[in-house]
Amino acid sequence: MVDQTRQFDRRTYLKLSGAAGITTVGLAGCLQDADDGDDDTADGGDDDENNEIVAGTAPGFEPFEMVIDGELVGFDIDLLEAVIDETEYELAGWQEIEFDGLIPSLENENIDVIAAAMTITEEREETIAFSDPYYSADQTVLVQTGGDVQPAELADLEGHNVGAQSGTTGEGIVEDELIGEGLIDEGDYDSYDNYVLAIEELERGTLDAIVIDEPVAESFADDRDVEIAFTFETGEEYGFGVRQGEDDLQQALSEGITAVRESSQYDDITREWFDE
């Protein structure tokens, strides 16, 4: 399932993305509810069209999802496609959405599954359901390479200007652990649509630090003038998001993850995107 033609130069990606932003693709969700009585077929679930699903993601989160030369690529892209190949579902296409718009798009049935390095949290599970976890990650703090701000723990960010991507667990940590604990004021926090924009601000020195998932931080640190100040354990796990009540799809994705892990595909995809 791994497409070896998808190898990419991360510096090229970071140069191409930047402030141009993310393009939204106008696909609509395709998954039909076999119990809703609206199917064109009398059996209410056997038609192939009922098994077509549209996936949503949020490019700008290297190496999980990004756009290179107009093509959507990344770990999540390859993994979901491999997982769906292990199920009776068919992937009809992808829709690119800002991260904090993914859950509303899922609820509105514009997409059927979220594949965007989304952490499984109790708060999100009040709204959507998740597959079994497919990746574990902690949080890190990124700073400018050789800059004056060199924190060793969250408390060292007191009084500094901190950024994160809107809707992420990184933003939640800023709100709870920094603003909530009085270490920084709300005006000291900058929220971004994607982390590429935050990285550019950090490199220019207009931002002191970024709270970001560890594997993404490592990828940026390899290619940009930023470095990891410290990492702190959060026990986060990523899962594919689906609508509550879509039990068949949820189970199929979980079983697909297991099948991909038990084969060589998961290791192949991991090596391609993380050089592991």
Cis peptide bond N-terminal to 151, omega within 30: no
Tokens 């800023």 correspond to: 174
DSSP string, 135-200: EEEEEEEEEETT-S---SSGGGGTTS-EEEETTSHHHHHIIIIIITTTSS-GGGEEEESSHHHHHH
- pTM, to two decimals: 0.79
Q: Where are the beta strands (DSSP E) in the chain?
A: 52-57, 66-68, 71-73, 90-96, 113-114, 128-130, 135-144, 162-165, 189-192, 209-213, 226-238, 241-243
Cα–Cα distances (Å) from 121 to 11, 35, 62, 148, 237, in that order, read: 32, 28, 21, 34, 9
The tokens describing 187, both together, are 């005006």
Domains and their CATH numbers in the chain: 52-134+239-274 (3.40.190.10), 137-235 (3.40.190.10)
pLDDT at 31: 58
Kindly report, residue by residue over 155-182, the tens digit of the pLDDT: 999 999 999 999 999 999 999 999 999 9
- Averaged over successive runs of 10 residues, the pLDDT of the chain (276 residues) comes to 38 40 44 46 51 96 93 97 98 96 98 98 97 96 96 97 95 96 97 93 96 94 95 95 98 98 95 84
Question: In angstroms, rounded to a whole number, what is the distance separating the alpha carbons of residues 135 and 150?
Answer: 29
Length of the chain: 276
pLDDT at 13: 41
Question: In angstroms, rounded to a whole number, what is the distance separating the alpha carbons of residues 174 and 239?
Answer: 22
pLDDT at 50: 78
Cβ atoms of residues 57 and 111 within 8 Å = no
Kindly report, residue by residue over 20-57, the tens digit of the pLDDT: 333 434 444 555 443 444 444 344 444 556 799 999 99
Measured in whole angstroms, the distance separating CA 212 from the mean position of its chain's CA atoms is 11
pLDDT at 275: 77
| Type of residue numbered 49 | E
Question: In angstroms, rounded to a whole number, what is the distance separating the alpha carbons of residues 163 and 159?
Answer: 13
Backbone angles phi, psi at 245, to 5 degrees: 95, -15
Question: In angstroms, rounded to a whole number, what is the distance separating the alpha carbons of residues 248 and 94?
Answer: 20
The tokens describing 176, both together, are 């709870």
